[in-house]
């Protein structure tokens, strides 16, 4: 089932607080689901459902921080807003460092919670759009030829054109031509746009932390820095090379 409308999930063992948040969210014309238990929420939550989570730190069966960690472990993009009567500096710092988008104290001001929920829902929308784009790129990468894939693996790590040519024992022109075809297949105009794609592709490898060559230079042909612009290379009329 495809979910498009955002839902605000409320987790709080305190019925009065839970109902107060529910009433506010309803006035925002947003869908709402309430839970008195963190484990109940985790059992029932479908990660395909957009929205945000408003969660108390102290819940009867599991802490709000543990709920947040489990969502992160499952790579769920759902933003978390903490609303609690038990805030300490240490807890606030911990929650924010682990990805919470806001931290409010009870009793809450309606305008503050209203703004926090709106921001969290917008963040969720942008995260999900980024995930969709990443999935599209991943699908397109599967369409690369063996030769293009070999170039891509080195290119994504920030290797320059001469370095790629030397590693693969091919000419720099062949590297450039394959790069053109990679850009076309990925639907990307310049190699500068490859940086987020490359980071996603190779994860947290150290060679991506300090990009060089085509991932950091100007968007034009520069064999020393390895920068490729699709338009400028197309104009050279290089032959198609597998």
pLDDT values of the chain reduced to their tens digit, one per residue, 242 residues: 556 799 999 999 999 999 999 999 999 999 999 999 999 999 999 988 999 999 999 998 899 999 999 999 998 889 999 999 888 889 999 999 999 999 999 989 999 999 999 999 999 999 988 888 888 888 888 899 999 999 998 988 889 999 999 999 999 999 999 999 998 888 877 666 666 666 565 554 433 333 333 333 333 333 333 333 333 333 333 343 34
The region, left, alpha or beta by phi > 0 then psi within -120 to 50, assigned to residue 183 is alpha
Please tell me the predicted confidence (pLDDT) of residue 201: 57
Report the DSSP beta bridge partners of residue 8. 32, 52
Please tell me the predicted confidence (pLDDT) of residue 77: 87
Please tell me the predicted confidence (pLDDT) of residue 87: 82
Q: Rounded to whole angstroms, how far apart are CA atoms 21 and 10?
A: 7
Predicted TM-score (pTM) of the model is 0.64
Q: Rounded to whole angstroms, how far apart are CA atoms 213 and 211?
A: 7
Please tell me the predicted confidence (pLDDT) of residue 147: 94
For residue 5, give the 3-state DSSP assignment: coil
Domains of the chain: 7-130 (3.40.50.2300), 143-234 (1.10.10.10)
For 112-167, what is the HEC assignment?
Answer: HHHHHHHHHHHHHHHHHHHHHHHHHHHHHHCCCCHHHHHHHHHHCCCCCHHHHHHH
The set of long-range contacts for 15-24, using a CB threshold of 8 Å and a minimum separation of 24, is 17/56, 17/83, 17/106, 20/108, 21/54, 21/83, 21/108, 21/113, 24/110, 24/113, 24/114, 24/117
């Amino acid at each position: 089932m495809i979910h498009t409308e955002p839902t605000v999930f409320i987790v709080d063992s305190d019925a009065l607080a839970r109902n107060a948040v529910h009433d506010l969210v309803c006035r925002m014309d947003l869908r709402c689901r309430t839970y008195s238990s963190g484990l109940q929420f985790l059992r029932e939550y479908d990660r395909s459902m957009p929205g945000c989570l408003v969660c108390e730190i102290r819940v009867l069966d599991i802490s709000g921080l543990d709920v947040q960690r489990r969502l992160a472990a499952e790579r769920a993009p759902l933003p978390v807003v903490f609303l609690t009567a038990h805030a300490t500096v240490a807890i606030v710092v911990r929650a924010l460092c682990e990805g919470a988008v806001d931290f409010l104290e009870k009793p809450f001001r309606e305008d503050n919670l209203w703004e926090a929920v709106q921001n969290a829902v917008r963040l969720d929308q942008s995260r999900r759009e980024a995930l969709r784009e990443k999935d599209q790129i991943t699908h397109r990468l599967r369409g690369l030829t063996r030769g293009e894939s070999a170039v891509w693996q080195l290119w994504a790590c920030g290797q320059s054109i001469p370095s790629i040519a030397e590693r693969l024992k091919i000419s720099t022109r062949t590297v450039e031509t394959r790069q053109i075809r990679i850009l076309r297949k990925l639907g990307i105009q310049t190699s500068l746009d490859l940086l987020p794609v490359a980071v996603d592709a190779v994860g947290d490898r150290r060679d991506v932390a300090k990009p060089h060559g085509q991932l950091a230079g100007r968007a034009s042909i520069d064999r020393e820095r390895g920068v490729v612009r699709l338009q400028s290379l197309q104009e050279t009329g290089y032959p198609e090379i597998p």
